[in-house]
Structure 1
């Protein structure tokens, strides 16, 4: 179990993640490895992060250090580690300074990159966009947008690029409230470049590097979203998420500064766009590879919606019926367990603490490994088998609360998790009332693990009309 150091520790003032980094001597008592000169284990981690983690745990245990991406990080692995870091009841860990080395140049000041009071205040202001009335509005926009698009998906296709385009279009409609038109491709490319830059080995925006492309993508998005924020404020509110954010106020009644609205919106669109794309793709694969579960989910959707109409067209899923799709939600949760959209999560220790028998110094970068915990036999029977029945209420209650954390936990629990459930349920209702989803026998795509999982071949599926 996690234990804190007995002697009280004052919180050092680190204005930036690069200050107060512990020395090699400070970490000498923690097992691990430096790897190659200068680059450390960077390329080993990028090549196969899950195999690397498995080997490190087998060699050193569930607390180990590794040098990569220019510095040391200490891994804290398992559900108890997830609870210590994510619940963060003693305010030991900084999300802002943990994500800083990865996202400072790309998604600064997003909600995930805020700590403590600043995070709480802005989260409360932004939560207005996820209240029932706006969510009901998004539900209608998602339903019509998804129905239009998937009607043309019959036949073999690469699913990942198709759902990526659709989620961007849906984000534009639900989040921005306007069709993107010719700007869609440019905005999509900006997000692709920004996300890929987050794990680029070269961390400075030098010419022709991934980081330079990511920084250029951010500049484009800041210009676009700044213009849109000012326009929304001038024209008044709206039901779309961007208008809700642009006119959101803090506890003292003040509007959020324009640059903060832009940063929140940029981060949120990336998160909703890329993580839902990844999660929907993994769910489609696991339902195609497990046709008995696909049929169970289909029959539940038929029971809730009434099934296709007399002309074979899917009936829409009412907002008030979302909560009735228990099996659909369990299947989605199992897909999130199998392929979490954020496989690992960094933090920085603001105070010295102890975990697993090791003293971790103040200022140290630490990380939890969500993918490993989701596949550990400590918490899951036959963990590499797709089985939505793991999420029956009794099994959830019996399991460690932090053994399943695809949306994070604690104060930084994903603000848009209910939006993700809603979008995926609406997508499944449209697809499974139209098609049977098939993959070739024995097909198992190779997944790019970082920064957000995606099948390297785009996921080859066939949608066969019912």
Structure 2
């Protein structure tokens, strides 16, 4: 159980700055003395444990938990953090019942230069108001429109996957192209390619070690990419408002209104669009890759999913072309959804989540002071034996309704939880199900015997070799 101690209010802690004002993330940073009572270690002078963590984040966390327990401190990336580990910690931080934790001030040091004012960088009432306005883009009618675009785009690309490929870069490009069509309403072509390039540059810059836009650095390319997209989305927002919008996600955002009927400010529409394109592109790419990997290894499950897809779609048409997966049939792919959930458990696309404590609190027998940077470890919880039997075995049957009800609600959190639950999670399910429908009607997914690629674990998992698979026509 967590209990509160007297502490500054959120506004006081943020310097009483208005919403949208820059935050000075280093102000009020805690020193070692503030956390002296919490077990842990600071690592090497200057760099702390940064490079040790980056070399193998999961092994580092496992060692720290084994040595210090489920609450420990660690110095990395220029400051101290407190790790809170396990399903109970996930519930405390994500549900955030007492408004202890700031997502804005947790993610800000990583994302603020390139993706300011995205939903993850908002807290409390401001977050609630904008989330409600943006949710219009995920209502049934827009989602039905996106499903049509996804079926067309996936069919067009998957048809060419008739030889051994590196799946990760292939699905990354496809996901960006699909986002350009479904999110922005652009046909594939040079304009969509330029937008995709800008997004790739921004994502790479968000985790670049050099945090200033110096010439020839990733951060400079990312800042230039953001400038291009801000200009593009600003012009497009004004145009779409004048023309009455459309069914694509960007048009829905451009014409979204708050509870008082006012349109979102143009610059906020731009920032929300930038952020959601980034979030959708990288996380869906990672999660689709992990599912294809496990289906290549587990042919029995691949066949079960293929049988389900054939039963729902009717199988390929008379010319051998896959039939599209209808929007109304998405819910019928129950085994496919269970397999996707298991892949998300095995390789969560966001393996950890940062927050900053706005108030002091107690957890696990420790007093955590206001101002502490804290984080939860999703990957560790997804592989903890206290929640999962034989946790490193791929078994979609873990997600039957009965087993889900019997498990701690926050033992599986690939999409986060609470007020910051991923707004686009149903879009992610839809895209992956449509992808599986087209792949499994057309191909057997195969990998070489004994294939076991190494995965880059952080910040978003991906196979280091790109995932070498073969799509063999049925």
Q: Which category of TM-score, normalised to the shorter sequence, fits these structures?
A: over 0.9
Tell me, yes or no, if the aligned pair for 2:167 and 2:289 is still in contact at 8 Å. Answer: yes
Partner of 2:19: none
Q: Return the alpha-carbon distance in structure 2 between the equivalents of residues 210 and 376 of structure 1.
A: 36
Tell me, yes or no, if the aligned pair for 1:194 and 1:213 is still in contact at 8 Å. Answer: yes
- Report whether the alignment pairs 1:301 with 2:295: no
- Report whether the alignment pairs 1:14 with 2:39: no
Q: Return the alpha-carbon distance in structure 1 between the equivalents of residues 197 and 56 of structure 2.
A: 25
Q: Return the alpha-carbon distance in structure 1 between the equivalents of residues 228 and 159 of structure 2.
A: 33
Alignment: residue pair count: 464
Q: Return the alpha-carbon distance in structure 2 between the equivalents of residues 179 and 296 of structure 1.
A: 35
Tell me, yes or no, if the aligned pair for 2:358 and 2:371 is still in contact at 8 Å. Answer: yes
Which piece of structure 1 moves more, 443-452 or 109-118?
A: 443-452
| Superposed displacement of residue 9, structure 1 | 4.3
Q: Return the alpha-carbon distance in structure 2 between the equivalents of residues 192 and 220 of structure 1.
A: 13
Q: Return the alpha-carbon distance in structure 1 between the equivalents of residues 226 and 188 of structure 2.
A: 17
- Report whether the alignment pairs 1:223 with 2:223: no
Q: Return the alpha-carbon distance in structure 2 between the equivalents of residues 432 and 323 of structure 1.
A: 17
Q: Return the alpha-carbon distance in structure 1 between the equivalents of residues 336 and 390 of structure 2.
A: 21
| Superposed displacement of residue 215, structure 1 | 2.1
Partner of 1:246: 254
Partner of 2:350: 342
- Report whether the alignment pairs 1:190 with 2:189: no
Q: Return the alpha-carbon distance in structure 2 between the equivalents of residues 209 and 43 of structure 1.
A: 20
Which piece of structure 1 moves more, 200-209 or 160-169?
A: 200-209
Q: Which residue, 204, 215, 233 being the options, matches 2:241?
A: 233
Q: Which residue, 447, 453, 462 being the options, matches 1:454?
A: 462
Q: Which residue, 88, 104, 110 being the options, matches 1:102?
A: 110
Which piece of structure 1 moves more, 197-206 or 117-126?
A: 197-206
Q: Which residue, 358, 378, 391 being the options, matches 1:370?
A: 378
For 1:56-95, list aligned pairs within 5 A.
56-95=64-103
Q: Which residue, 169, 175, 184 being the options, matches 1:167?
A: 175
| Superposed displacement of residue 10, structure 1 | 4.7
Q: Return the alpha-carbon distance in structure 2 between the equivalents of residues 402 and 141 of structure 1.
A: 33
Deviation readout 1:117-169 (Å, 9 max, x if unpaired): 00000000000000001111111111111111111111211111111111111
**How large is the Cα RMSD of the aligned pairs?**
1.3
Partner of 2:18: none
For 1:338-417, list aligned pairs within 5 A.
338-417=346-425
Question: Unpaired runs of 5+ in structure 1?
Answer: none
- Report whether the alignment pairs 1:4 with 2:3: yes
Tell me, yes or no, if the aligned pair for 1:195 and 1:451 is still in contact at 8 Å. Answer: no
Partner of 1:283: 291
Question: Unpaired runs of 5+ in structure 2?
Answer: 15-22
Q: Return the alpha-carbon distance in structure 2 between the equivalents of residues 74 and 191 of structure 1.
A: 31
Q: Return the alpha-carbon distance in structure 2 between the equivalents of residues 218 and 48 of structure 1.
A: 31
For 1:111-130, list aligned pairs within 5 A.
111-130=119-138
Q: Return the alpha-carbon distance in structure 1 between the equivalents of residues 207 and 75 of structure 2.
A: 15
For 1:144-159, list aligned pairs within 5 A.
144-159=152-167
Deviation readout 1:265-294 (Å, 9 max, x if unpaired): 001011111111111011001001100000
Q: Return the alpha-carbon distance in structure 1 between the equivalents of residues 13 and 473 of structure 2.
A: 58
Normalised by the length of structure 1, the TM-score is 0.97
For 1:244-283, list aligned pairs within 5 A.
244-283=252-291
Tell me, yes or no, if the aligned pair for 1:282 and 1:335 is still in contact at 8 Å. Answer: yes
Tell me, yes or no, if the aligned pair for 1:198 and 1:451 is still in contact at 8 Å. Answer: no
Tell me, yes or no, if the aligned pair for 2:114 and 2:222 is still in contact at 8 Å. Answer: yes
Tell me, yes or no, if the aligned pair for 2:7 and 2:370 is still in contact at 8 Å. Answer: no
Partner of 2:142: 134
Q: Return the alpha-carbon distance in structure 1 between the equivalents of residues 186 and 200 of structure 2.
A: 21
Tell me, yes or no, if the aligned pair for 2:186 and 2:192 is still in contact at 8 Å. Answer: no
Structure 2 SS opposite 1:359 = strand
Normalised by the length of structure 2, the TM-score is 0.95
Deviation readout 1:11-61 (Å, 9 max, x if unpaired): 252223332222321111111111122211111122211111111111111
Cα 1:257–1:180 change in 2 (3 A) is farther
Q: Which residue, 418, 423, 427 being the options, matches 2:435?
A: 427
Tell me, yes or no, if the aligned pair for 2:85 and 2:376 is still in contact at 8 Å. Answer: yes
